[in-house]
Amino acid sequence: MRKKKILIIILALIAINIYFLARAVFSFSLDDKMRVIFFDVGQGDASLVMADGLNILIDGGPDKKVVEKLDKYLPFWDREIDIMVLTHPHADHVAGLIDVFKKYQVDEVWMTGVLHSSYEYLEFLEIARDSGMATRMVGRDAINRVSATNIKIEILYPREDLFEKTVDNLNNSSIVLRISYKDKSFLFAGDIEEKADAELCEKPLLSHPLEGEGNIRSDVLKIAHHGSANASSQCFLEAVKPEITVISAGRDNDFGMPSLRILNRLERMGIGVFRTDEDGDVIMETDGKEIKKFTP
């Protein structure tokens, strides 16, 4: 009986040690760095940005696969999403976020509040409203840009308030945001198509009503609309001038994404491409001077 007690105490001590060791290793590995993971969630979009103790989730993909990814990449003691961004209400971006609400504590949600009546979007809005979390409507509310730390978030699109408005094309209502860590920046282009793409590249220096000068130049670009041919114009890619791009698309998806036209365009321009359908989760880390990509 006594031996059993001693064994339990020893095991408990080992467990406590492992816990603190894991904590130390994890916090050390992200010390002075930003990590960005483009999750392989099939046909959809979901990316996680971790820096300065913040977890920022941009879209949630089409189902609960995003929760498996968060469980995998976030330490088990960290079940908090500081900022959740819904770029636009299509199911391949919003549906997984409903599952995230069930398992993670979400502090703040950023969205446009555009009108759309799909089941998934209405459920998302209901949870966000009833849970009492902070909701910020891009284009209407002041957005906390987290400028006190090394990380800077800029909302580059939409350039107008879409709250409770109907739009012709939901893809073009996508929030486009740039997240920078010191000198390195990542541009998340949502699902924008030609109209928004053209506005952003033809008037990149147009003064934005809320956020900075609207320059879209970035080191890494999450390609718009899963690599569809109706986005990523030559003009847009030249204005962003990325070193690396990431395409989030499902294996053998029904939409033929990414488009061969876009892949050829990127190759011609000498821009590197990673694809979640072929590479799985795409993980990048930056110290603010250089960007490293590594496999999980």
120 binds Zn ion (CB under 5 A): no
Q: Which is nearer to Zn ion, 211 or 277 (CB)?
A: 277
Stretch that binds Zn ion, among 51-59, 187-195, 227-235, 283-291 (CB under 5 A): 187-195
Binding piece for Zn ion, criterion CB under 5 A, among 6-14, 18-26, 113-121, 188-196: 188-196
Pick 215 or 253: Cβ nearer Zn ion:
253
Q: Tell me which stretch binds Zn ion (CB under 5 A): 9-17, 127-135, 185-193, 206-214.
A: 185-193
The CB-of-5 to Zn ion minimum distance in angstroms stands at 56
Whichever of 92 and 277 has its CB closer to Zn ion, that residue is: 92
Q: Closer to Zn ion by CB, 218 or 228: give it.
A: 228
Residue 92 or 219: the one with the smaller Cβ distance to Zn ion is 92
Minimum CB separation of residue 44 from Zn ion in Å reads: 6
Q: How far is the CB of 231 from Zn ion (least distance, A)?
A: 11
Instruction: Output 111 or 151, the one with its CB closest to Zn ion.
Output: 111
Binding to Zn ion in span 65-94, by CB under 5 A: 92
Residues in contact with Zn ion, counted by CB under 5 A, come to a total of 2
Q: Does 191 bind Zn ion (CB under 5 A)?
A: yes
Burial degree of 30 (CB within 10 A; 0-12, 13-18, 19+): middle
Binding site for Zn ion (CB under 5 A): 92, 191
